[in-house]
């Protein structure tokens, strides 16, 4: 499935739009599922290490995209601070649990942070309506995909730490993640079909 938006990415000129991070995110998630995860499981006999590393990569790439499209410099600083905090926390969580459990806490925080950044982006867009219709922009569809994906998988990720070894739960986990992945990929595809608007990082909106 991710091959569709990956292919569509190249249809329009997307230089300096920040969407390269989403393209990278899709490519890496595909590579992770096909190559990295099987290798990690083979060597470490656990799938959690792969998940933990991917959580950080997923957060970093989504945040880099949102950082690029958000104009407010103060909020961008807050994103940087929160990101440093999250990476430090994830590292300690990795060391403490010795990668033997699902990283529910970092994943939960990642979901909340990405949702917050996305809400802020949408809020910024309605405050400064420089586009005729918000849904005619590719960034809007990417942000909506992120909001729906991370809000939809938030609860299942939170519950995973203690229940991941349960086959019934794992089946539910896979089902929910797959459904939201499909939704996300579908929305990314819509986004990549639309001509991208250039990011304007220099212009900051007034401090709220």
SS3 assignment, position 120: helix
CB 90 within 8 A of CB 78: no
State in angstroms the smallest separation of the CB of 17 from another protein. 20
State in angstroms the smallest separation of the CB of 73 from another protein. 22
Q: Which is nearer to another protein, 13 or 162 (CB)?
A: 162
Q: Which is nearer to another protein, 41 or 177 (CB)?
A: 177
Binding site for another protein (CB under 8 A): 104-105, 108, 115, 119, 122-123, 125-126, 129, 132-135, 144, 147-148, 151-156, 158-159, 161-163, 165-166, 168-169, 172, 176
State in angstroms the smallest separation of the CB of 26 from another protein. 20
CB 8 within 8 A of CB 189: yes
Q: Which is nearer to another protein, 36 or 47 (CB)?
A: 47
Nearest CA-CA partner of 52 in 157, 165, 195, 197 = 157
Q: Which is nearer to another protein, 40 or 103 (CB)?
A: 103
CB 70 within 8 A of CB 82: no
State in angstroms the smallest separation of the CB of 143 from another protein. 9
Alpha helix segments (H runs only) across the chain: 3-9, 20-31, 37-44, 48-69, 73-97, 104-127, 138-163, 167-193
Q: Which is nearer to another protein, 34 or 126 (CB)?
A: 126
CA-to-CA dists, residue 47 to 85, 121, 181, 208, angstroms:
25, 34, 19, 43
State in angstroms the smallest separation of the CB of 31 from another protein. 27
């Amino acid at each position: 499935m991710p091959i569709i938006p990956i292919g569509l990415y190249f249809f329009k000129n997307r230089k300096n739009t920040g969407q390269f991070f989403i393209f990278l995110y899709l490519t890496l998630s595909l590579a992770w599922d096909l190559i990295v995860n099987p290798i990690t499981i083979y060597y470490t006999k656990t799938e959690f290490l792969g998940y933990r590393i991917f959580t950080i990569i997923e957060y970093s790439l989504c945040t880099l995209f949102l950082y690029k499209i958000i104009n407010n410099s103060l909020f961008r600083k807050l994103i940087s601070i929160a990101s440093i905090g999250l990476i430090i926390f994830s590292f300690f969580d990795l060391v403490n649990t010795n990668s033997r459990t699902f990283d529910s806490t970092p994943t939960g925080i990642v979901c909340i942070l990405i949702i917050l950044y996305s809400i802020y982006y949408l809020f910024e867009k309605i405050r400064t309506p420089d586009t005729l219709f918000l849904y005619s922009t590719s960034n809007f569809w990417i942000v909506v995909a992120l909001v729906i994906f991370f809000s939809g998988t938030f609860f299942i990720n939170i519950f995973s730490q203690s229940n991941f070894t349960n086959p019934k739960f794992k089946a539910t986990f896979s089902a929910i993640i797959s459904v939201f992945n499909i939704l996300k990929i579908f929305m990314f595809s819509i986004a990549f079909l639309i001509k991208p608007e250039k990011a304007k990082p220099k212009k900051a909106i007034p401090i709220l």
